Structure 1
Amino acid sequence: MELVVVLAALAFLMFAAYRGYSVIIMAPVAALAAVLLISPSSVAPMFSGTFMTAMVGFVKNYFPVFLLGAIFGKLIELSGFSKAIVAAVIRWIGADQAILVIVVVCALLTYGGVSLFVAVFAVYPFAAELFRQNQIPKRLIPGVIALGAFSFTMDALPGTPQIQNIIPTTFFGTTTWAAPALGIVSSIFILIVGVLYLNWRRRSCVARGEGYASGPLLNEPDAVDKDHLPNPYLAITPLVLIGVANFILTRMIPVWYGDSAIVSMPGMKEPLVTSINSVVGIWAVQGALLIGIVFILITAWKTVSQKIAEGSKQAVAGAMLAGLNTASEYGFGAVIATLPGFLIVKDALVSIPNPLVNAAVSVSTLAGITGSASGGMSIALAALGEHFVQAANSAGIPMEVLHRIVSMASGGMDTLPQNGAVITVLAVTGLTHKQSYPDIFAITLIKTAAVFFAIALYYTTGLV
């Protein structure tokens, strides 16, 4: 019965996410309903003492990253920099390489700090135009965007400022640059296999006589104006700045502060002590995003000034929604981890003898259930984070390797049909799950396979 309660809570949360209900509401409902069935008198204390404590702790740590990332992405959009980058990559690679062009553009934007959702809106008009020119079926666009935006630049490439690469830093005392060689080789694996698959799909569709308009065309974008775009080198500069600043700050913050930052003010009862090891990854990304934001404001003020008031409101709303969604799932994980039924689930997961495989399976499973990479990872780390660390330490596995595997696993099976990014890309492109999800799922399988490729690579070569 106790196991059934835990599984029912997870199933309810998955169903609610799939049906489009707010996770901010449904995560506490699912968690507290499970508590109600086990111990009715514990509902209120668990809500205040466990759910809200965990949720607020997550917001304290990560909301600034969500907010700064959303503002940066909105400024990239308002300034026209995103369109300039897309147009430039088309010229550099060639319009006939439509699939590779869109993958590269999505990768540049997301690795540069632009959110996955902003990248979808920025890239789609260009993707539609390129696919139409080359008579590539429109239904392949979501799979191409998924490869470029939802895979290796989200969590495999070292230094990526996406939240899936930031969350593990506070649990494992690592930085966003953890296991750089392992991450780069794994990213190359995902890119090569993914592009080969998508080009095979393109040839198969063309051989069957399919063209761009093979099927109803919905949400067709307007023609793209390429005559009044910012200089592409100027446009790509803030993306480069974020990467460079993140790298430098990651190394310099420990030099500036040492092991801990101690602040003592007259009004404080006791000094404020912050362990630098636990925040260096977050501070470095925040500082890098701030530098990127300031650069855009300085270089494109005339363009963005008329729209920045409304744009900033949209960015704040998006950041609050994304941040609270994940925080609510983190609170859900904290509550579920206390229930007796979860001990059975935990024992089953812990029974996997290999620490890295254990972490990968646990995180990927929960990401698939919740339909969220950051949400599934948050639940897994809230419930099993200490076990992952202990198992890795016992096996002599560096925390950097554990970070990279956990991060990559979060972006494995997360893109099941109920995933928010999947629903968004299908809505934007005017396509359905039936038309385009098989290709997204293929990228999901490739990304999941890459996690175990990385594990095998580590054990056979010791690559970190």
Structure 2
Amino acid sequence: MDLLIAVGALCFLMFVAYRGFSVILFAPVAALGAVLLTDPGAVPATFTSLFMDKMVGFAKLYFPVFLLGAVFGKVIELSGFSKSIVAWVVGIVGSERAMLAIVLVCAVLTYGGVSLFVVVFAAYPFAVEMFRAGNIPKRLIPGTIALGAFSFTMDSLPYSPQIQNIIPTTYFKTTSGAAPILGILGGIFILILGISYLEWRRRQAIAAGEGYGEGHINEPPPVDTHHLAPAFIAFLPLIVVFVVNILLGGFKPFFDGLIEHVYGANYDLKLAMDHTIATPVAPIRAVWAVMGALLAGIFTVFIFAFGKLKDTFAEGSKAAVGGALLASMNTASEYGFGAVIAALPGFLAIKEALRAIPNPLVNEAITVTTLAGITGSASGGMSIALAAMSTEFIKAANAVGIPMEVLHRVASMASGGMDTLPHNGAVITLLAVCGLTHRVSYRDIFAVTVIKTMAVFFVIGFYYATGLY
């Protein structure tokens, strides 16, 4: 019965997320409902001392990253730099390679720190023009954008500033550049298989005589590429984010980051207080590094595009803050939910079942990607898994000599595996922007999902075969 209660709470949260209800509202409902069925008297204390404590703790750590990432994406959009970047990449790759061009556009923006949702809006108008010119079915656009924005640059490549690559750093005391060899190989695996799949789908459509199609909705007007900023200026903020992230966080094993050099492993905050506040720096240096990098990127955009931003930033920043609040609170609620479920008697049975998987990396990958699939959120599923099981993962890894960097990369990549099931918020947004339905276009998004999941086990196999990470 205890096991059914824990599984039922997870299924309930998946159902309400799929139906479009707010996770912020229903995550505590699902968690406390499970507690009510287990120990009714424990509900108030569980809410205050466990759910809210974990939820607030998550927001304390990661809300600045969500906020700065949203603001950075917004100023890149308002400045017109995103259009410049897209137009430059399309011009270099060529309109005859529409799919590859859009994948690379999305990858560059995502790896540069632009939020996934901003990337969707930035890439879609160009994708429509190129697919229409190449007579490629519009139904393939969502899968193409998903491959570029929701996969290898989100969580595979080292030093990605996306939250899915930042969350593991606080558990494993790593940097965002953890296990670069595994990350790069995983990214190449996803890119090659993904592009091959999309090209196969394009050739299928051509053989069947299918073209772009008619009667589509949400068709954007032609993209105006006049009066765009030079490409080298538009790329500069993305480069600044990447470089500052490395300088602050370090490039192991070659040099320690500035944060570690200045603050060491701990910092005692005194100011004018009559006591000191101890701040362990090691678990959060990667968070500080990406915050500093995003701030530097925002300032860079302002330096080169102040004229455009001075009249639009006030309203644009409100939208960015609203989006950051929603995204961070959604994930924080799922984190609190995971902490409650992990404390239930029924979860002990789940832990024991997972312990039956002897390999710690496979265990971690299955746990993280399963919970990401259930919640429909890479960051949410990973947060639940690491909140509940990170101690076990670390203990098992230490027992067989697996470095924490490898645990980080596997967790990060696994979070971006089965997360893009039909109820995923980014998938729903992508299809809505494209004016397409799950029935028409989800098949290709799911194929990308399968490739992402396969990549996790590919890098695990490579690590065991070579010992390289």
Matched, 1:222 2:227: no
CA distance in 2, matches of 1:216, 1:365: 38
RMSD: 0.7
Under a length normalisation based on structure 2, what TM-score does the superposition of the two structures give?
0.98
CA distance in 2, matches of 1:111, 1:85: 13
Determine which of 263, 266, 270 is the counterpart of 2:269. Answer: 263
Matched residue SS, 1:414: helix
CA distance in 1, matches of 2:291, 2:355: 35
Q: Show the 5 A alignment for 1:172-187.
A: 172-187=172-187
Q: Show the 5 A alignment for 1:235-250.
A: 235-250=234-249
Aligned residue in 1 for 2:155: 155
Matched residue SS, 1:261: strand
Residue 445 of structure 1: how far off its partner (Å): 0.3
Residue 261 of structure 1: how far off its partner (Å): 1.3
CA distance in 2, matches of 1:203, 1:305: 47
Q: Show the 5 A alignment for 1:345-384.
A: 345-384=350-389
Matched, 1:422 2:415: no
Residue 262 of structure 1: how far off its partner (Å): 1.6
CA distance in 2, matches of 1:228, 1:119: 21
Aligned residue in 2 for 1:193: 193
Aligned residue in 2 for 1:405: 410
CA distance in 2, matches of 1:458, 1:216: 49
Instruction: Tell me the alpha carbon deviations over residues 120-152 of structure 1, each in whole angstroms, 9 at most, x when there is no partner.
Output: 000000000000000000000000001000000
CA distance in 1, matches of 2:265, 2:228: 46
Under a length normalisation based on structure 1, what TM-score does the superposition of the two structures give?
0.99
Residue 21 of structure 1: how far off its partner (Å): 0.3
CA distance in 2, matches of 1:249, 1:258: 12
CA distance in 1, matches of 2:215, 2:279: 57
Residue 370 of structure 1: how far off its partner (Å): 0.4
CA distance in 2, matches of 1:40, 1:68: 40
CA distance in 2, matches of 1:457, 1:280: 29
Matched residue SS, 2:211: coil
CA distance in 2, matches of 1:291, 1:192: 33
Amino acid at match of 1:224: V
Matched, 1:40 2:36: no
CA distance in 2, matches of 1:12, 1:425: 24
CA distance in 1, matches of 2:269, 2:349: 44
CA distance in 2, matches of 1:409, 1:227: 41
CA distance in 1, matches of 2:11, 2:284: 34
CA distance in 2, matches of 1:25, 1:463: 44
Aligned residue in 2 for 1:285: 290
Residue 265 of structure 1: how far off its partner (Å): 2.6
Residue 288 of structure 1: how far off its partner (Å): 0.2
Q: Show the 5 A alignment for 1:54-453.
A: 54-213=54-213, 216-250=215-249, 251-268=257-274, 270-453=275-458
CA distance in 2, matches of 1:236, 1:307: 21
CA distance in 1, matches of 2:36, 2:269: 43
Write out the 4+ residue segments of structure 1 that deviate beyond 3 Å after TM superposition. none
Determine which of 434, 455, 460 is the counterpart of 1:455. Answer: 460
Unaligned runs of 5+ in 2: 250-256
Residue 263 of structure 1: how far off its partner (Å): 1.7
CA distance in 1, matches of 2:380, 2:53: 16
Amino acid at match of 1:21: F
Matched residue SS, 2:241: helix
Amino acid at match of 2:247: I
Instruction: Tell me the alpha carbon deviations over residues 261-315 of structure 1, each in whole angstroms, 9 at most, x when there is no partner.
Output: 12213324x3122222111100000000000000111110101111111001000
CA distance in 1, matches of 2:41, 2:283: 36
CA distance in 2, matches of 1:331, 1:84: 41
CA distance in 2, matches of 1:178, 1:253: 16
Amino acid at match of 1:108: V
Matched residue SS, 2:278: strand
Residue 16 of structure 1: how far off its partner (Å): 0.3
Matched residue SS, 1:14: helix
Instruction: Tell me the alpha carbon deviations over residues 236-268 of structure 1, each in whole angstroms, 9 at most, x when there is no partner.
Output: 110011001101111121111112112213324
Residue 216 of structure 1: how far off its partner (Å): 3.7
CA distance in 2, matches of 1:331, 1:180: 31
CA distance in 2, matches of 1:243, 1:403: 19
CA distance in 1, matches of 2:355, 2:224: 55
CA distance in 2, matches of 1:135, 1:304: 37
Residue 52 of structure 1: how far off its partner (Å): 0.2
Matched residue SS, 1:160: coil
Residue 395 of structure 1: how far off its partner (Å): 1.1
Amino acid at match of 2:301: I
